[in-house]
């Protein structure tokens, strides 16, 4: 209760007063710190834990390690997950995200490649990892371009969610493929919202495409009239174009 009410210190007091602790109490305490921005305490509890960990405990620990960027400890947790026979698509997605956020895209890709079952969450996590690390060629070869939707459905058995398309727009924009990015926004099987057009606008600003940037900005103005960021982006683009 204290953990869910954002009071991990009070939760710790209750935890410390317990005469006997089991898997549930340890996991609850780990989650309390992991969910409220104290990854170091999460890691300390994990090291002190004197009962066999569960999948939930491992997932909470992986989130904390990702915030700390603790790659070595993350690899240790990965080893313990395998030893405990707790590997599942959900756990592998947590491992993938942890490796990416700790700066090891190669480890993240290895986890993804070894997955026997991939779902929308795992594919989305891999796309986000590519985008985060600026690995444009690898992202295009696996997930973007004209045949990206076909690739996700046929190669990975996943129907792309709107989040997949937004990640693709971001990657295409970063790599300068603004025509493809705009086409994807206009043709994706979801109603493009202000976030999609803002993502395209950011790519246009990055590469100085004023005409396409103006079109994207107009869409944002229509969908989110109170949004001020497009004005800032356009101002910077006009200044750069003199």
Query: Which pLDDT tens digit goes with each residue over 209-221?
Result: 999 999 999 999 9
- Residue of higher predicted confidence among 155 and 53: 53
Query: Which pLDDT tens digit goes with each residue over 178-189?
Result: 998 898 899 888
The highest-confidence range among 124-128, 185-189, 235-239, by mean pLDDT, is 235-239
Mean pLDDT, range 150-175, rounded to an integer: 68
108-111 long-range contacts (CB < 8 A, ≥24 apart) are 109/138
Query: Which pLDDT tens digit goes with each residue over 65-121?
Result: 777 777 888 888 888 888 888 888 888 888 998 898 888 888 998 999 898 887 767
pLDDT of 160 strictly over 70: no
Domains of the chain, by residue range, sit at: 1-86
């Amino acid at each position: 209760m204290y953990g869910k009410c954002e009071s991990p210190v009070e939760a710790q007091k209750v935890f410390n007063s317990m005469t006997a602790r089991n898997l549930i109490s340890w996991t609850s305490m780990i989650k309390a710190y992991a969910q409220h921005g104290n990854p170091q305490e999460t890691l300390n509890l994990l090291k002190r834990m004197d009962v066999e960990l569960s999948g939930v405990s491992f997932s909470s620990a992986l989130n904390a390690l990702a915030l700390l960027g603790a790659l070595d400890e993350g690899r240790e947790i990965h080893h313990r997950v395998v030893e405990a026979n707790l590997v599942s698509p959900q756990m592998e997605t947590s491992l993938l995200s942890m490796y990416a956020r700790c700066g090891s895209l190669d480890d993240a890709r290895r986890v993804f490649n070894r997955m026997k079952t991939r779902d929308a969450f795992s594919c989305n996590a891999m796309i986000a990892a590519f985008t985060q690390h600026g690995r444009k060629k690898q992202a295009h070869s696996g997930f973007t371009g004209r045949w990206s939707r076909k690739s996700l459905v046929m190669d990975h058995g996943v129907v792309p969610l709107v989040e997949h398309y937004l990640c693709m727009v971001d990657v295409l924009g970063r790599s300068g493929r603004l025509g493809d990015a705009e086409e994807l926004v206009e043709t994706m099987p979801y109603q493009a919202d202000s976030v999609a057009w803002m993502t395209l606008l950011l790519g246009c600003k990055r590469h100085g495409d004023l005409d396409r940037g103006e079109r994207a900005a107009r869409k944002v103005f229509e969908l989110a009239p109170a949004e001020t960021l497009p004005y800032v982006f356009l101002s910077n683009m006009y200044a750069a174009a003199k």
